[in-house]
């Protein structure tokens, strides 16, 4: 079943059996973004121990690519430090899925934005310093994704 798009085997694998699906009770940070044009909505939850993301889960309403990118980003950053997680790019997500159809690239951007918002939320709630790059991303995300 290839459907309308030529999804890689990894995209289909994550779509059919997503990793880290669900919510976290009493998360340390939550990031929620949406794309009004396509209707995708992603919510990412993180738990932080020390400076590491010890647990990460997601709830996504969207297409196969949206679910797959949400799933793979949780795998990529679990156990990483906050700074390592902030280095995550949509290219990293796309590469981990062996590519995405061009029309679905925005899904990888949404997953990274949700992660950045969860980290931003964690830092604000804990009165920690917000790195300049994250503050700039948050402003861009607020304009683009708030629903």
Query: Could you tell me if residue 3 is inside a domain?
Result: no
Is the pLDDT score of 1 beyond 80? no
Residues constituting the chain: 147
Specify if 4 maps to a domain. no
Asked if the structure places residue 133 within a domain, the reply is: yes
Q: What is the pLDDT of residues 14-69, one digit of tens each?
A: 999 999 999 999 999 999 998 777 788 999 999 999 999 999 999 999 999 999 99
Q: What is the CATH number of the domain that holds 53?
A: 3.90.1010.10
**Tokens matching residue 21:** 């699906």
Check whether 147 has a pLDDT greater than 70.
no
Mean pLDDT score of the chain:
92
What tens digit of pLDDT does each residue of 84-129 get?
999 999 999 999 999 999 888 888 899 999 999 999 999 999 999 9
Whether pLDDT at 3 is above 90: no
Global pTM reads 0.93
Residue 117 resides in a domain: yes
Give me the sheet containing 29-35, strands edge to edge.
29-35, 40-49, 52-61
Residue 75 within any structural domain of the chain: yes
Please report which confidence band the pLDDT of residue 130 belongs to, taking 50, 70 and 90 as the band edges. Answer: very high
Domain count, the chain: 1
- State which residues form the domain around 31: 9-145
Give the whole-angstrom CA distance, residue 143 versus residue 147. 10
What positions carry a catalytic annotation? 38, 107
- Asked, for residue 1, whether it belongs to a domain, the answer is no
Pairing of strands 40-49, 29-35: antiparallel
Cα dihedral 93, 95, 98, 104 sign: positive
- The verdict on residue 98 lying in a domain is yes
């Amino acid at each position: 079943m290839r459907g309308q798009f030529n999804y890689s085997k990894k995209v289909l694998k994550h779509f059919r059996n997503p990793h880290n699906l669900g919510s976290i009770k009493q998360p340390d940070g939550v990031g929620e973004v949406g794309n009004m044009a396509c209707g995708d909505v992603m919510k990412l939850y993180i738990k932080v121990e020390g400076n590491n993301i010890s647990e990460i889960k997601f709830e996504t309403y969207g297409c196969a690519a949206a679910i797959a990118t949400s799933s793979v980003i949780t795998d990529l950053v679990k156990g990483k430090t906050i700074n390592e997680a902030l280095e995550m790019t949509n290219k990293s997500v796309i590469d981990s899925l062996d590519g995405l159809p061009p029309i679905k690239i925005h899904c990888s951007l949404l997953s990274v934005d949700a992660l950045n918002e969860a980290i931003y939320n964690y830092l604000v709630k804990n009165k920690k310093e917000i790195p300049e790059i994250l503050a700039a991303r948050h402003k861009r995300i607020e304009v683009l994704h708030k629903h």
